[in-house]
Amino acid sequence: MEDLKSKALDIQNLVKYENDSVVSREVIKKELGTVTFFAFDQGQGLSEHSAPFDAMVQIIDGEAEITISGVKNTVKKGEIIIMPANEPHALQAENSPYKMILTMIKSD
């Protein structure tokens, strides 16, 4: 894994779209949490699951449909949403491909 520390980085180029795929790139991994970049091609997603971490999703390109505990949210470029720890959630590129930054922080 390339060392990205102490470098100015173009967030749009840290992960690229691939046809019919979800691409991810973990850029920080610590015991207390992670930061991961994702690119979802249109029609792709992550099925419902939960995690033991509070998670903040920041959309950096496109638009995502993010469902948290059965409530659907449309999150667009420049917006964030916080997914609480241990709550079921799913992510989908319904209307367009999108890129996001996922920041997860361990909860008590």
**pLDDT tens for each residue of 1-47:** 567 888 888 888 899 999 999 999 999 999 889 999 999 999 999 99
pTM above 0.95?
Answer: no
Tokens of 84: 């609480």
pLDDT reported for residue 91: 98
| 30 Cβ contact list (under 8 Å, min separation 6) | none
pLDDT reported for residue 1: 52
- What own/partner pairs with CB < 8 Å and gap ≥ 24 does 78-81 have? 80/56, 81/56, 81/57
Residue 108 has pLDDT above 70, yes or no: no
**pLDDT tens for each residue of 43-89:** 999 999 998 889 999 999 999 999 999 999 999 999 999 999 999 99
| 85 Cβ contact list (under 8 Å, min separation 6) | 50, 51, 52, 53, 54, 55, 107
Cα distance between residue 99 and residue 23, in whole Å: 9
Q: Which domains are present in the chain?
A: 21-106 (2.60.120.10)
Instruction: For residue 52, give the amino acid letter.
Output: P
